[in-house]
């Protein structure tokens, strides 16, 4: 990822998608990720008091913002009008994120935590936790997974912004519909017994979007705007971008450590519950990615656009889900615990799906797949981010 070369499905570079072409940090990323997870769990278990300073200094939030900054600084914002004018891709993303995704997560929550399946007792708090996760569409880590899989930075930026605006209006309604309205209608009153209502305000959604998307977005946009105009596009893309590129992986590893450290004690104390929640989440991530990737290829999208579509649909905005669950049910609730398990499972599963995407890039013939492809911008002086 630290290579400034932009690989693509029609790239002439023989090393495109070849692990031997990756630098040391990229090549052993899986090892670093699992090592960071182990360090985080160990730190949280042997020193549970570390959770408080992590929360007080907002280290998880800082890590997320830092790891999102390089991809957003690399995006060519002059191409966003083309992204937003492609209603075929935007419409597909809407169907995936606001019809298929929430419905699938609700179905998995019912199967695993409603008590309807023999051998699986009802766990209303975990049911609600999965609903909170499933209704929150991703605005943060999807940028990293897409970057690692050589997806389109412009399309993932546009789709994240598009879904963020949609999320402000719909998140509270979706949580109410799937958590309070639908279960009694399907004869599952016990899942929401004693819960008559809870508030999920648009302001809670706006705050999460401003922090986790707005800050790195503004930082990335201003960096590119100033850099290309003061030093030129060539210097920016060939000198500055490679300089900041490693920050994504370093910040990702830092975020994984502090995130797992906050839950180290819970993971060790209740590994069975973690695994129980992990099963439907893993199914969700894998199914959503494969279905969405297939739909993207089905409409004729090129590899980079298809990858952006797939990861945008497969990821979730766990920052929003955790914030709302804590605000409504409290930090010690089972609902909050289920939402926290979300990113702990998402990290290794989505990392595995990055490798699946790169395999698809090599395995399939992408010639003739052009829907959503972005033509190279003019090299004239007025072409950069006008």
Q: How many residues does the chain have?
A: 386
For the ranges 40-54, 176-190, 304-318, the lowest mean pLDDT is seen at: 176-190
- The proportion of the chain whose per-residue pLDDT surpasses 70, expressed as a percent, equals 86
Is the pLDDT at 199 greater than 70? The verdict is: no
Nearest to 141 by CA among 297, 19, 251: 251
Q: Pick the residue with more confidence: 252 or 101? A: 101
Spatial neighbors of 257 by CB under 8 A, at least 6 apart, are 36, 39, 40, 43
CA distances for 30 relative to 36, 166, 175, 222, 237, angstroms? 10, 33, 34, 32, 27
pLDDT-based confidence at residue 371 (cuts at 50, 70, 90): low
Would you identify the CATH topology of the domain 21-363?
A: Na+/H+ antiporter like fold (1.20.1530)
Most confident residue range from 42-51, 80-89, 282-291: 282-291
What is the spatial distance between Cα 360 and Cα 358, in angstroms, rounded to a whole number? 5
pLDDT average, residue stretch 245-255: 89
CA distances for 325 relative to 49, 61, 76, 160, 334, angstroms? 22, 17, 36, 22, 9
Ordered by start, the domain boundaries in the chain are 21-363
Is the pLDDT at 12 greater than 70? The verdict is: no
pLDDT at position 211, please?
A: 82
pLDDT at position 381, please?
A: 42
pLDDT average, residue stretch 197-210: 74
pLDDT at position 196, please?
A: 56
Task: Output b/e per residue, 194-228; b: 16+ Cβ within 10 A.
Answer: eeeebebeeebbeebbebbbbbbbebbbebbeebb
Phi-psi region of 119 (alpha: psi -120 to 50; beta: other; left: phi over 0): left
pLDDT at position 28, please?
A: 74
What is the spatial distance between Cα 191 and Cα 205, in angstroms, rounded to a whole number? 25
pLDDT at position 13, please?
A: 46
pLDDT at position 173, please?
A: 86
Is the pLDDT at 354 greater than 90? The verdict is: yes
Is the pLDDT at 4 greater than 50? The verdict is: no
Nearest to 307 by CA among 294, 320, 318, 319: 294
Is the pLDDT at 22 greater than 60? The verdict is: no
3-class DSSP state of 137? strand
pLDDT-based confidence at residue 382 (cuts at 50, 70, 90): very low
- Looking only at Cα atoms, what is the longest distance across the chain? 67
pLDDT-based confidence at residue 383 (cuts at 50, 70, 90): very low
- Taken in order 143, 148, 149, 151, the sign of the CA dihedral is positive
For the ranges 158-162, 330-334, 366-370, the lowest mean pLDDT is seen at: 330-334
Half-sphere exposure of 238 (CA within 13 A, CB side): 5
Nearest to 63 by CA among 261, 223, 240: 261
Token reading at 30: 């899986």
Token reading at 23: 């630098």
Is the pLDDT at 273 greater than 50? The verdict is: yes
Half-sphere exposure of 216 (CA within 13 A, CB side): 30
pLDDT at position 375, please?
A: 54
Is the pLDDT at 140 greater than 80? The verdict is: no
> What is the H or E stretch that residue 214 is in?
none
Is the pLDDT at 94 greater than 50? The verdict is: yes
For the ranges 107-111, 130-134, 213-217, the lowest mean pLDDT is seen at: 213-217
pLDDT average, residue stretch 260-265: 84
């Amino acid at each position: 990822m630290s290579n400034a070369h932009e690989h693509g499905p029609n790239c002439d570079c023989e090393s495109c998608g070849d692990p031997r072409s990756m630098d040391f940090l990229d090549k052993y990323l899986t090892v670093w990720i699992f090592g960071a997870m182990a360090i985080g769990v160990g730190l949280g278990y042997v020193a549970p008091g570390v959770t408080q300073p992590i929360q007080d200094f907002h280290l998880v939030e800082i890590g997320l913002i830092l790891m999102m900054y390089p991809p957003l600084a690399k995006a060519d914002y002059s191409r966003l009008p083309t992204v937003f004018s492609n209603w075929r891709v935007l419409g597909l993303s809407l169907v995936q994120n606001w019809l298929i995704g929430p419905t699938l997560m609700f179905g998995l929550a019912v199967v695993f935590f409603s008590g309807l399946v023999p051998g699986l007792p009802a766990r209303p708090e975990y049911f609600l936790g999965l609903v909170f996760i499933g209704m929150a569409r991703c605005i943060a880590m999807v940028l990293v997974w897409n970057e690692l899989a050589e997806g389109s930075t412009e399309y993932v930026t546009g789709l994240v912004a598009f879904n963020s605006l949609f999320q402000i209006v719909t998140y509270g309604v979706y949580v109410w519909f799937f958590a309070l309205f639908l279960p009694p209608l399907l004869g599952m009153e016990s899942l929401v017994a004693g819960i008559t209502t809870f508030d999920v305000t648009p302001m809670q959604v706006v705050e999460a979007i401003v922090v986790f998307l707005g800050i790195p977005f503004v930082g990335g946009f201003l960096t590119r705007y100033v850099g290309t105009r003061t030093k030129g596009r060539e210097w920016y893309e060939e000198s500055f971008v490679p300089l900041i590129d490693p920050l994504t992986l370093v910040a990702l590893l830092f975020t994984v450590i502090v995130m797992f450290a906050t839950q180290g004690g819970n993971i060790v104390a209740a590994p069975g519950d973690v695994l129980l929640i992990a099963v439907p989440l893993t199914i969700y991530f894998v199914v959503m990615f494969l279905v969405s990737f297939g739909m993207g290829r089905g409409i004729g999208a090129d590899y980079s656009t298809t990858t952006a579509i797939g990861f945008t649909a497969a990821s979730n905005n766990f920052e929003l889900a955790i914030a709302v669950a804590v605000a409504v049910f409290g930090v010690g609730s089972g609902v909050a615990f289920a939402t926290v398990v979300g990113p702990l499972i998402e990290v290794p599963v989505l990392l595995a799906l990055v490798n699946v995407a790169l395999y698809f890039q090599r395995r399939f013939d992408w010639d003739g797949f052009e829907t959503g492809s972005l033509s190279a911008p003019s090299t004239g002086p007025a072409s950069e981010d006008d």
